């Protein structure tokens, strides 16, 4: 191998190493974001259930009637 090829190979190895590090960092961030999304989804489901339950409880108290001008 010539010195030029060795330099080129070294630059490529450095580039691959840097890209591998970046991919690992992005993978970690993605995993953290997924955990956050799942937690938010569980909270949203709980709030939706609670809202529907409260809506059912309050629906019986308010009679639905036509306004006088009908």
Return the SS3 of 20.
helix
Give the separation between CA 36 and CA 46, rounded to whole angstroms.
Answer: 15
Q: In this model, does residue 67 exceed pLDDT 90?
A: no
pLDDT digits (tens, 9 = 90+) for 1-50: 899 999 999 999 999 999 999 999 999 999 999 999 999 999 999 999 99
Q: What is the sign, positive or negative, of the torsion defined by CA atoms of 24, 26, 32, 37?
A: negative
Q: What is the pLDDT of residue 12?
A: 98
pTM confidence score: 0.61
Owner of token pair 């009637």: 65
Per DSSP, 70 falls in state: -
């Amino acid at each position: 191998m010539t010195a030029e090829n060795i330099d080129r190979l070294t630059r490529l190895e450095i580039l691959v190493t840097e890209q591998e590090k970046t991919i690992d960092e992005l993978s970690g961030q993605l995993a953290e974001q997924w955990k956050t999304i799942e937690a938010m989804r569980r909270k949203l489901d709980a709030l939706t259930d609670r809202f529907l339950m409260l809506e059912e409880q309050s629906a019986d108290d308010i009679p639905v009637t036509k306004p006088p001008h009908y």
